[in-house]
Amino acid sequence: MARSGDRTRRALLAALPLSVALLNAEDADGLLYDRVHRKLNNNLSLRIRDLKVTVVDAVVTIEGIVRSEKLKKRATKVASVKGVKNVVNKLRVGT
pTM here is: 0.73
Give me the count of residues in the chain: 95
Domain locations along the chain: 24-93
pLDDT tens digits, one per residue of 29-60? 999 999 999 999 999 889 899 999 999 999 99
Distance CA 54, CA 72 (A): 17
Q: Which of the four pLDDT bands, split at 50, 70 and 90, describes residue 19? A: low
User: pLDDT averaged over the chain?
Assistant: 85
Measured CA to CA in angstroms, residue 53 lies from 58, 86, 90 at distances of 12, 13, 10
- Which amino acid appears at position 66 of this protein? V
Domain 24-93 bears CATH identifier 3.30.1340.30: yes
Residue 82, phi then psi, degrees to nearest 5 = -60, 130
pLDDT tens digits, one per residue of 70-80? 999 999 999 99
